[in-house]
Amino acid sequence: MVTRMMPPVLTLESVSIRYGDRLAVDGLSLELPRGEMFGLLGPNGSGKSSTLGAIAGCRIPSSGTIRLAGIAHSEQPTEYARQLGFVPQELAIYDELTVKQNLRFFGDLFDLSGLELRQRTDHLLDRLRLLDCLHRPVRHLSGGMQRRVNLAVALLHQPALLLLDEPTVALDPESRECLFGILADLRNEGQTVLLTTHLLDEAERWCDRIGILQQGRLVAEGSPAQLAQQMPERVLVASLPERPAPWVEKSVRHLLPAGSHLEITGNRVRLVAESSGDLGRALALLLKHGFALDRIQSPGLSLEEWPAVRERPALESASAGEIVCDAA
């Protein structure tokens, strides 16, 4: 449950980030309360990675202030770091060590030892379903389990904010479901979570609020329902019992009408077009090439297409398909 009456856990005040003459983030302001899961979306070059790096303390903003639990990184960097649990896209644990050894090592970095460390370790191992692999080297674990070990390390010191960069990259649908189920439980217990994702289903299903970055600016912010209600119906979703051969899928993507986009996640297909006519032609193309679609629905254009529609004048040089497809 999101608690709005308490002071925000994370505050960004007019944050700008420059790389020479290039403005990557332009006056970004944002607040995250305790117990909220916030999803940050945006295409390549939107400023998402720069924002994440600044929150993590890896990049210094050119202007503006970032406060975590009321602490500014520029004033108290060590104490700021203690309030942050960061799970980067690439695993940040030692694969030659066992799960238990990793937790002990990182616990020591945060001055945890003895009974306190054992209690926190036992709790996280149980909570993240890692008890059965306690003494196994991380390199022998599945991708989903490795990601959970990294999550346990990030939570070990009980941070105010859990920051995750593309947490489900390379995970199968079952592992993604498991990971987000854990994150939802943590959120419901009061943990504040900020994550980036390029998978629209994840943001819609799990996040309380979503922010859409475009050219360094926050062009949209709100709950999934609030943002989706403002968009026209130019999208179809359907089940795909059996994925076609890669060469068929590649061929279809090249034949789609300009501005259309095909997204396949697990056994779910999402088809987006710039007009209802293009949507019909794209659907016919899929059926012609043997896509055995089932339970076809039109739920309305959703969040991933927001930058393509709202920022059309600024994005005339890129197609909507390019924007939707590359949201990392």
58 C-beta neighbours (distance < 10 Å), count: 11
57: left (phi over 0), alpha (psi -120 to 50) or beta: left
pLDDT digits (tens, 9 = 90+) for 35-57: 999 999 877 778 888 999 999 99
232-301 has the same fold as 10-222: no
What is the residue-averaged pLDDT of the chain?
83
pLDDT digits (tens, 9 = 90+) for 187-226: 999 999 999 887 666 787 899 999 888 789 888 888 988 8
Residues 6+ apart with CB under 8 A from 226: none
Per-residue pLDDT at 123: 92
Which residues make beta-bridge pairs with 85? 162
Under 8 Å between Cβ of 15 and 28:
yes
**Better-scored residue on pLDDT, 226 or 180:** 180
CATH domain 10-222 topology: Rossmann fold (3.40.50)
Nearest C-alpha neighbor of 193 from the set 81, 39, 68: 39
Query: Distance (Å, rounded) from C-alpha 204 to C-alpha 39?
Result: 9
79 C-beta neighbours (distance < 10 Å), count: 13
Q: What distances in angstroms separate CA 79 from CA 12, 72, 182, 245, one per listed residue?
A: 17, 9, 27, 52
Query: Distance (Å, rounded) from C-alpha 199 to C-alpha 270?
Result: 11
| DSSP tag of 242 | S
* Domain boundaries 232-301, CATH class: alpha beta
Structure tokens at 82: 């203690």
Return the minimum-mean-pLDDT range out of 60-74, 213-227, 228-242, 249-263.
Answer: 228-242
Query: Would you place residue 27 in the very low, low, confident or very high pLDDT band (cuts 50, 70, 90)?
Result: very high
**Better-scored residue on pLDDT, 199 or 88:** 88
Domain range list for the chain: 10-222, 232-301
Does the pLDDT of residue 131 top 50, yes or no?
yes
Cross-sheet strand order for the sheet of 209-214: 84-87, 161-165, 192-196, 37-41, 209-214, 217-222
| Burial class, 242, CB count within 10 angstroms (exposed 0-12 / middle 13-18 / buried 19+) | exposed
Does the pLDDT of residue 132 top 50, yes or no?
yes
Return the minimum-mean-pLDDT range out of 104-113, 117-126, 234-243.
Answer: 234-243
